[in-house]
A and B are shown apart, each in its own frame.
Chain A
Amino acid sequence: MCLAVPMQVLELKENTAVVDMGGTRRAVRLDVIDRPPTVGDYVIVHAGFAIHCIDEEEAKITLQYFEEIFADETSR
C-alpha cells in the first residue's frame, strides 16, 4: 500500500502538478511534497499526492556506484 512510483512533471497548477503516468496525464496534489518541483522533474507519487521530488544529484551518485561495479569488471 505504500507503493509509490516516480513520474515526470508535465505542468504545474496552483496546488497540483500534472504528471505523466505511463502515457496518461494525471493531476497529483502538492500539499506534502518536500520542495516545489519544476516542469521536467521526477516526483514520487503515492495515493494521489507527490511526496518527494527526486534528487538528481543523489540519483547520479547511486548510478556512479553501479558504474564502478562495471569498472572493476572491465579492468579485470
Chain B
Amino acid sequence: MKHLDEYRDPHLAGKLIDKIKALSRRPVRLMEVCGTHTVSIFRSGIRSLLPPSITLLSGPGCPVCVTATEELDKFIKLGRQKDTIVATFGDLVRVPGSSSSLQKERADGADIRVVYSTFDALDIARRNPSRTVVFLAVGFETTAPTIAAAVKEAKKEGINNFYIIPAHKIIPPAMEALLAGGELAIDGFICPGHVSVIIGADAYRPVADKYHIPCVVAGFEPVDILQTIYMLLSQIEEGKAAVEIQYRRAVNFTGNEKALALLSEVFETCDAPWRGLGSIPDSGLRLRDNYRALDIETKFDLTVPRTQDHPGCSCGDILRGVKTPLDCALYRKVCTPSNPYGPCMVSTEGTCAAYYKYHD
C-alpha cells in the first residue's frame, strides 16, 4: 500500500545499514520514546542488524504502561459504581491495579466496554440515557484531541450522562524528567511520530537545547527508523544537538493547529503521576472550568487508598530505560502475556511484551 511499501524495501534498508556502519565510530545510546517504535524495531529485526556500538533503549512511550497504579485503582473503583458503564480502549482492560483489574471487575459484573473511538463511547451514552457512561481518557497527545472532540460534542448536544476521567500524559516533559534524573546517559532521541503530528517537532527544542541531545522525529517503517538512526549519528558525529524531522510526510515543526486549538479549548495542563517517573509538573491534562462538569470526579469520590505495585515487577525501571526485561527476575518465568504482572507485559506496545514476542 502506498506510503507503507516503499518504506519497507529490504534493499533500501540494507543500504542504510551500510551507511550507518560506515558512520558509527563510538558507542552511542539512542532512546526510542514511543511504544509503536519499540514494536516496529523488534518486528523488523533492526536491533540485530545494527553495529554493536549502537544501543537502542525503550522509553516511557506506551500510554498504558505509564498509567500509574493509583489511576488504575480509580478506574477499578469507578467500575464498581452503580448504574455506570465504563468505556475504554482495549489495552487497559487486563492491566493489574493494586488488587484487581478491569477484566476481573467485569467478570464480577461491572459493565466495562471496549471501544475503538471516543465517539463510540458517546454513542453508548446516547443509547443509555439512564446510566452514567465514563470514558477512561488515557493516551498521549495523539489521542487527547480526539477526546477533546468528544467532550465538546457531548456538551454541544447536551448529553449529560457522558463523562471522562482525564488521565492523559504529555511526552516532552517526561523526556526532560528522564534527563533531569541524570540516571541514564542518552545520546539521542528517536522522537514519536504520531505525537509529533499533533504537537510539531518544535516541542522538542527545550530537550535539544537544554540537554544538548539530538532529537529526530521518526516514521514507523523500517526504512524510516534506519534513516532516523543515520540522522542522529550524523548529528552526534558533528557535535550537533538539533531537532530534525525524518517523518516529513506527516510531521512539521509547528504541529496540527486545528487539533492544538481544540486541545487547549477543552484541556489545560496539570501535574500528572507516571509509573516509574513519579509526578511530573505540567505533564498531564485536566478539563478547563468550562468543561469541568464532564470530569467524573465532580460526581463520584474516586479517592483510593495507598497503592501497591507487584513486588518484583520492574516496569518502572524499564520505562526509564535503566533496566531491560531480561533484568527482571519474573520475566518469562512467571510473568508472561497470558499471566502479566505489570503493564509492560500487558500492552502490545509494552517493552516486556515486545521482548517476549521477538527476543530470543
A42→B359 CA distance, assembly (Å): 34
Contact in complex: B116, A51 (CB < 8 Å)? no
B119: Cβ under 8 A from any A Cβ: yes
Is the CB–CB distance between A48 and B249 below 8 Å? no
Given the contacts A32-B146, A52-B197, A42 and B36 also touching, CB distance less than 8 Å? no
Annotate A34-76 by CB proximity to B: 1 below 8 A, 0 otherwise. 1000000010101111011011101101110110011001000
The reply on B6 being an interface residue by CB < 8 A is: yes
**B137-145, B179-187, B320-328 - the one binding chain A:** B137-145
In addition to A3-B194, A5-B4, A33-B256, 11 A-B residue pairs with Cβ atoms within 8 Å of each other are A4-B142, A31-B146, A32-B259, A47-B139, A48-B116, A49-B146, A51-B197, A54-B250, A58-B248, A66-B223, A73-B15
Residue interface mask B314-350, A partner, CB < 8 A = 1: 0000000000000000000000000000000001010
The 8 closest A-B pairs by CB, nearest first: A48-B117, A59-B249, A31-B149, A58-B248, A6-B3, A32-B259, A2-B142, A34-B256
Interchain CB contact under 8 A, A66 and B12: yes
Give the A-binding residues of B (Cβ under 8 A). Answer: 1-4, 6, 9, 12, 15-16, 19, 34-36, 61-64, 89, 91, 116-120, 138-140, 142-143, 145-146, 148-149, 192-195, 197-198, 223, 227, 246, 248-250, 256-259, 262, 347, 349
Residues of A within 8 A of B36 (CB): 1-3
Give the interface centre of A4, A51, A66 by most chain B CB atoms within 10 Å: A51
In the complex with contacts A1-B62, A2-B140, A55-B249, A48-B256 CB distance below 8 A:
no
Contacts A/B (CB < 8 Å), 9 sampled: A1-B62, A1-B140, A2-B63, A3-B36, A6-B3, A22-B1, A33-B256, A48-B146, A52-B197
Q: Once bound together, how far apart are the Cα atoms of A29 and B147, in whole Å? A: 12
Q: Are A34 and B259 in contact (CB under 8 A)?
A: yes
Report the interface size for chain A: residues with CB under 8 A from the other chain. 34
Contact A47 B15 (CB under 8 A): no
Is B262 in contact with A31, judged by CB distance below 8 angstroms? Answer: yes
- Chain B residue at smallest Cβ distance from A69: B15
- Which residues of chain A are within 8 angstroms of B34 by Cβ–Cβ distance? 2
CB atoms of A62 and B349 under 8 A apart = no
The answer, among B143, B257, B262, for a CB contact under 8 Å with A46, is B143
Cα distance, A60 to B145, chains bound together (Å): 28
Which residues of A have CB within 8 Å of B119? 29, 48
The complex places the Cα of A43 from the Cα of B64 at a distance, in Å, of: 25
Known: A1-B62, A47-B146, A59-B249. A6 touches B117 (CB 8 A): no
In contact, B91 and A1 (Cβ under 8 angstroms): yes
Shortest beta-carbon distance, A68 to chain B, in Å? 10
CB pair B149 A2 closer than 8 Å? no
Are B249 and A2 in contact (CB-based, < 8 A)? no
CA distance A69 to B14 in the complex (A): 11
* Nearest neighbor of B11 in chain A, beta-carbon distance: A70
Q: Is the Cβ of B116 less than 8 Å from the Cβ of A52?
A: no
